[in-house]
């Protein structure tokens, strides 16, 4: 079972039924065959963005506590690599959460990602590998 990286936008869409991408993200998650892997920066962003949705931040934390959202990442260990990514993509620009996810892709050997962020069309893992965005784009 291959790990699947999980970005903030998909967590928000999954837990906020009024979010326009909710159904697409839920459909993809239903058919997923991998463990969901993320980082603390994504969890922090999701909790902040969901703060007005009743019980949603609690649901995020419950998923972390139950191991549904796995966090095999320590920023203190990864800081040099994360900083290098943020420097490399400064024109995009790359935020901390995205840099941590790209770093995780490098470490786990996977570019499969649940994201709504078009920047992952620009980012590369292991220097030149494109990400496989699992949520179809609808314009």
pLDDT tens-digit series, residues 10-66: 999 999 999 999 999 999 999 898 899 999 999 999 999 999 999 999 999 999 999
> Domain ranges in the chain?
4-133
pTM score > 0.85 for this model?
yes
Q: What is the pLDDT of residues 65-91, one digit of tens each?
A: 999 999 998 999 999 999 999 999 999
Please state the CATH superfamily assignment of the domain spanning residues 4-133 in this structure: 5'-nuclease (3.40.50.1010)
Strands lying side by side in the sheet with 69-70: 69-70, 36-37, 4-6, 112-114, 132-133
């Amino acid at each position: 079972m291959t790990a699947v990286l999980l970005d903030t936008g998909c967590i928000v869409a999954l837990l906020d039924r009024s979010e326009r991408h909710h159904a697409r993200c839920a459909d993809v998650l239903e058919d997923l065959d991998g463990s969901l892997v993320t980082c603390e920066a994504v969890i922090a962003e999701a909790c902040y963005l969901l703060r007005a949705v009743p019980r949603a931040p609690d649901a995020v934390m419950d998923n972390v506590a139950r191991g549904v959202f796995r966090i095999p990442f320590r920023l203190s260990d990864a800081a040099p690599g994360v900083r290098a990514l943020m420097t490399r993509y400064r024109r995009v620009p790359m935020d901390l959460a995205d840099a941590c996810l790209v770093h995780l892709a490098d470490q786990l050997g996977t570019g499969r990602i649940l994201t709504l962020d078009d920047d992952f069309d620009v980012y590369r893992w292991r220097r030149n590998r494109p990400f496989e965005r699992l949520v179809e784009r609808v314009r």
